[in-house]
Chains A and B, each alone.
Chain A
Amino acid sequence: MAEENSFDRSAASAEAQGDAAFAARLLADLPSVPASGALQACILADFDAVAAKRNASLWAVALRPVRKLRDAVWPSAPAWQPASIFALSLVLGLAAGALVPSSALTGAGSGQDETQTFDTIPSLDLSGDF
């Protein structure tokens, strides 16, 4: 009985090997399928579209805090308006910092005098005749 089983197994194994060799010989004859230029162009066009979309979304992520700030400062305005006002303020501030002499800003005399002039209560002489 054991011998019969062993014989069956080896026969099945030989048959399986024969099937494998047959399939290998047969399928080796099948030519490969060449890819057309149009297909390659379509696949690369897909790549370009995905890359463009990804770049756009990276910009969107990078600009999100700027947009939040813009909406807080100047709601529903186009981005160039707050951006240009901010740039103008920056330029004016820098220009003032560079051009205005420091003595004019920190001088001890003139500013205080003017303040005193404005703050001084005018003295009225009420002793005279009306």
Chain B
Amino acid sequence: MRIDPDAELVARVGRGDRAAAQALMARHLPKMLTLARRMLRDRSEAEDAVQEAFLRLWTHAARWKPGQAKFETWLYRVTLNQCYDRLRRKPTLGLTAAAHVADPGRGPLAELENAGLAAEIEAALAELPERQRAAILLCHTQERGNIEAAEILGVSVEALESLLARGRRTLRIKLAHLKDG
């Protein structure tokens, strides 16, 4: 039986423990926000999606039953569903927004170059179908294994592998000039 590292914190959140809520937020917010930002390519929409996902967490924490599903899997699924909802409401969302992502650890030139590269990669990601994009992001930027990513997406591992293969192929064709070989 796998041990859920969040189970204790979720139980405390269910009892109204603010410190536990803060700890849970600190643990998951950066990755959730990065995922939402890459899915939606719009900072404010991504923040709304993540805030809504946390609201679901605060509301459901008291009813959470450990052992049924891994908490993190559930949280990622909720976040992705929020992203899908927003993409359906505004179909052009992922394609039109600017993609500047600052990296505070580098100099201005490197940052500019890095931002340009990131923008290009994000643009290519945005052109992928939603499910392929989500699969690629979960496996390559969120360090989820195939089994967990499949659980988050609600598909079989074979279906996930198919999504990944098609997504990677498209990315490689679109971005071949960047780093191929």
Contact = CB atoms under 8 A, between A and B. Distances in A.
Interface of A: 16, 18-20, 22-36, 39-40, 42-44, 46-48, 50-51, 54-55
Given A23-B140, A31-B114, A54-B16, A39 B101 contact: no
Nearest to A51: B16
Contacts of A20: 164, 168
B157 interface: no
A-side interface mostly: helix
Contact of B51 (A16, A32, A39): A39
A30 B46 CA distance: 16
Interface string B51-75: 1001100110010000000000000
A25 B121 CA distance: 11
B-side interface mostly: helix
B54 A51 contact: no
A50 B141 contact: no
Nearest to A22: B172
B37 A25 contact: no
